[in-house]
A and B are shown apart, each in its own frame.
Chain A
Amino acid sequence: MGILIAIGLPLLTALSIGVFRLKRWVFTLSFLSALGSVASLYTQVPLNQVYTWPWMPNMLIDFSFIADGLSLFFGYVVSVVGCFILFYAKQYLPKVSDSNPRFYAYILLFMAAMLGTLFSNNIILLFIFWELTGVVSFLLIGFNTNTKKGQLGSRMAFMVTATTGLVMLLGVLLLGFLYQTFDISMISQLPALDSNVWTVLAFSCILVGVMGKSAQFPLHFWLPNAMAAPTPVSAYLHSAAMVKLGVFLIARFYPLLSNLDCWYIVGVVGLTTMVVGAVLALLTYDLKGILAYTTVSQLGYLIGFYGLGGPGGIEHDFFHILNHVLYKGSLFMVAGIVIHAFHTQDIRKMGGAFSAMPLAAIACIISAASMAGIPGTTGFLSKELMLAHMLHHPNAPILVGALVVSASSLVATACRLCLHIFSRSKLADPVQPQGILFQLPPFILAIVTISVGLFPKSVTQWLAQASVTGLHVAKPHSVYLWHGFTTELIISVCITLFGIIIYSVFQTFRWRLTLPAIFQLDAGFNRGVNGLPRVSQWFNYVCRVDSIHAHIPIVLVFFLGLMATLLFALSPTLTISTISVVYLPLLMITGTAAIIISMSKKWHIKLIALSVVGLLVSFTFFLYKAPDLVLTQLLIEIVSLVLLLLFFKKFSTMKRKEDHAIHDRSGLSFLKAMLSIGVGFIVFMLIQLVNSPASSNPIGQFFIENTIPLAGGNNAVNTILVDFRGFDTMGEISVLFIAMLGVMGLLWKKRS
């Protein structure tokens, strides 16, 4: 039940803030609810126990939850960081603002969605929560709804993550159909998959979802744009929690998919992203943009780590994740404080902030050191473990090369962050001092970073308890601060040196380099999205929906082509039925009246001829002994006559000469005549087809026999309408209603 409380508590709190429009005590309520979530995860979550409530059992979809080591680890990260973020947001947000309760509600909703994704035991349920996180992310990036940056950023983030999420759904559905179950606990006990078309397809789809959610190259561009969000959101969603979902999913499917031949692509994608993100971080001057690119790089690092693993399993992946959460959360929070103090995000306009925010400065230095991998921090241990892992890999030179490039770029970025914000003081204005409570959350995270970095043993042992069969090796190596003079240490020293060299090179260029145009994928994306309306405009133009005279022939030609093909395919079963001579005069009169309608130029003659056709058709129904149809047809004739009269009320006084000029061009008239004849012929043939004995279906007999026992009525026509085929009738009246709304819209436009 602990899982349910953990998910339900924030969810219910968020909903009640929204529904009851709470104004006071919102922060306290949210914070307590987040703490309750952490506590319920900590106290009472039995591992690997499944809780299931049926939802759509015949589609194999249930409300099913499970906690294993993987999801519990991520759950702790999400809920604990959530508490920190809530506390930090209290200081960050304006003291009095109407939108604050909305903010806390979104954060709690996000927390619930994240925990739901992590603990779902059903893939479809996982997907629903997964997309919910995307929706909340959209709401939070655009939280400042009046800024252009917020609008564009939220649109981009949502489109990328939601679209790739749909691709992922395709992948998990494929996986589900392969195994006839969506139950994760059952899927994870299956043997690893072999490579074939379907498994590779499922793998690729899932990988696309992961790349979108975790901002992997070339879909990384939404993350820097998502920085339009308030800083607590960036720290939580776009660094610690939501973007880690891709990592989580890769870990979740690791036991199942890591045996595939193409699994190495995960590594390629991840490590490419790692290098690209780290290099791009050097080329930007927006403080949060820099952090976003380093996040992209680090996400690539985490995903690439899984990609390097073999079928046997991996170790210490949780440690890498924990390392990133600690230092990046702290750095983002510091960035928020700095932005508050300087009122700008441009790192070139900052400096000399140490005395105004000593705790934040210390936190920033420790966290940046962790990012750079300086001994004594978790970052150092993480990098050593990664290097050791890479050196044992067959492709060691390439991998280590990539790591050296990205890690030394990160060293340079770390130097830049610390030195440019806190030491340089060319600025005239004194920096505004910031409150202690504001600086406390990043400081605590930094303290944790350094204490875990110095004494890693207890934490790694604790993480090892959360190991998952199939994902992790049975006996992980212990982590020590001092490994002796190993190759890894030498490479680490080189990385630090390279980083300092890169920093000084960029310093001489005054960081003037900007992003090359080829990497500005976000601008291209926006151009594409803005171009979409033009595509549909072009399509409308080609189909000529602006002119009914031009549009209807297009539709009819298509209809004729389709139906003629169908008829041709079914022609073997077609038999032309003969009719008795009695009908011949009737048909001739009907035909003559129809020709008069199309030939006559006077509207009242047209109208009379139309009525003649209608009445004769109802007479034909009468001859075929269909009283329901006769009644309906007669009434319809009356209604349409009245409607036409209403419509033609002022027609006689209108000038119809221009109209005639369009209609009476001989070529067009010929085309229209051919189309009319064609449609008439096709409909005639279709009726013949329906009446052909070979295709006649005895279903009519069923209705006649069962109308009394099953529907309690003698009139089979009516019982079909309201009972046997009531669902069809429901659809029809819905369509009628929609058509009425359409007519209303069209005609009311003319009134104004």
Chain B
Amino acid sequence: MEETIMKDSYILRSFYPVVFWIINLFALFVFFKGHNAPGGGFIAGIASAISLVFLYVIEGRACLNRIPNPVLLAAVGLGLAYGTALVPTLFNQAFLMHTMWHLHIPLLGDLHIGTPALFDLGVYFVVIGITVGIALWFDEASEYE
């Protein structure tokens, strides 16, 4: 039996699949609410990272195959943020200049979506990658002490 951090807890094990999705739904909610109400990529990133760190706490190494590589995740996020910043310069606009689309969708109402959301998505990925990565490495390193 692989060692996990908490002694095997049946309640945690059974409920976590549900809790995991609740945390991530919360993160999604916070992410999209961000532009108009408290929230944003950073907070959503920490929330998602917490869900993944808990997954690791409960399942141990076994979960590592199921979650994305943290370094890769952070790199993708960084690339997304830089890409969002750089693309406007190709269209002769200022570095980091945003573009917004205002759509009117029947039943749902007005939708405002823009490149700042993509930038925020980059922040989101970077925060997840870094938090999860550091937690994993701390744990691995402390086992070899």
Query: Could you tell me which A residues sit within 8 Å of B by CB distance?
Result: 627-628, 630-632, 635-636, 638-639, 642-643, 645-647, 649-650, 654, 711-715, 717-719, 721-723, 726-727, 729-730, 733-734, 736-737, 739-741, 743-744, 747-748, 750-751
Contacts and interface: CB of A to CB of B under 8 A. Distances in A.
A743 B133 contact: yes
B38 to A, nearest CB: 4
Contacts of A636: 46
Interface string B94-124: 0110101000000000001010100110110
Contacts of A734: 78
Nearest 8 CB-CB pairings of A with B: A713-B35, A714-B36, A627-B38, A747-B141, A747-B137, A635-B46, A722-B116, A740-B130
Contacts of B42: 632, 721
A497 to B, nearest CB: 71
Name the residue among B40, B81, B120 with the largest chain A CB count within 10 angstroms.
Answer: B40
A718 B144 contact: no
A717 B126 CA distance: 19
A712 B101 CA distance: 10
Contacts of A739: 130
B35 A646 contact: no
27 contacts: A628-B38, A631-B43, A639-B135, A642-B54, A646-B138, A647-B138, A649-B5, A654-B145, A713-B36, A714-B35, A715-B40, A717-B40, A718-B40, A719-B116, A722-B35, A722-B116, A722-B119, A727-B85, A730-B81, A733-B77, A733-B122, A737-B130, A740-B70, A740-B129, A740-B133, A744-B137, A751-B144
B6 to A, nearest CB: 9
Contacts of A740: 70-71, 74, 129-130, 133-134
B43 A628 contact: yes
Contacts of B112: 712
B139 interface: yes
B131 interface: yes
Interface of B is mostly: helix
Contacts of A632: 42-43, 46
Name the residue among A635, A714, A722 with the largest chain B CB count within 10 angstroms.
Answer: A722
Nearest to A748: B137
Nearest to B98: A723
Contacts of B138: 643, 646-647, 747
Nearest to B123: A733
A715 B145 contact: no
B139 A646 contact: yes
Contacts of B134: 643, 740, 743
For the side of the interface on B, what is the size category?
35 or more
Contact of B142 (A628, A646, A712, A729): A646
B140 interface: yes
Contact of A744 (B30, B39, B71): B71
Contact of B114 (A712, A729, A747): A712
Contact of B38 (A717, A726, A737): A717
A730 B85 contact: yes
B136 to A, nearest CB: 9
A729 B74 contact: no
B105 to A, nearest CB: 17
B116 A726 contact: yes
A649 B139 contact: yes
Contacts of A713: 34-36, 116
A635 B5 contact: no
Given A718-B35, A733-B77, A747-B141, A639 B5 contact: no
Contact of B50 (A642, A737, A751): A642
A739 B126 CA distance: 12
Contacts of B98: 711, 723
Contact of B135 (A630, A642, A733): A642
Nearest to B56: A646
A715 B35 CA distance: 6
B142 A721 contact: no
Interface string B45-69: 0110110011001000000000000
Nearest to B44: A635
Contact of A631 (B39, B81, B114): B39
B77 to A, nearest CB: 7
Given A642-B54, A733-B81, A734-B78, A631 B141 contact: no
B34 A715 contact: yes
A719 B34 CA distance: 9
Nearest to A629: B38
Contacts of A741: 71
B21 interface: no
Given A712-B114, A717-B38, A737-B126, 6 more contacts: A631-B43, A635-B43, A635-B47, A733-B77, A740-B133, A748-B137
A580 B46 CA distance: 33
A594 B100 CA distance: 46
A635 to B, nearest CB: 4
B18 interface: no
A739 B35 CA distance: 28
Contacts of B82: 730
Name the residue among B35, B37, B120, B135 with the largest chain A CB count within 10 angstroms.
Answer: B35
Given A631-B30, A711-B116, A744-B133, A639 B123 contact: no
A402 to B, nearest CB: 58
Contact of B100 (A654, A712, A727): A712
A243 B62 CA distance: 64
B30 A715 contact: no
Contact of A751 (B54, B95, B141): B141
A628 B36 CA distance: 11
A740 B71 CA distance: 8
A371 B78 CA distance: 62
A722 B42 CA distance: 10
Contacts of B122: 733
Given A718-B34, A747-B141, A646 B5 contact: yes
A726 B85 contact: yes
Given A718-B34, A737-B126, A747-B140, A646 B135 contact: yes
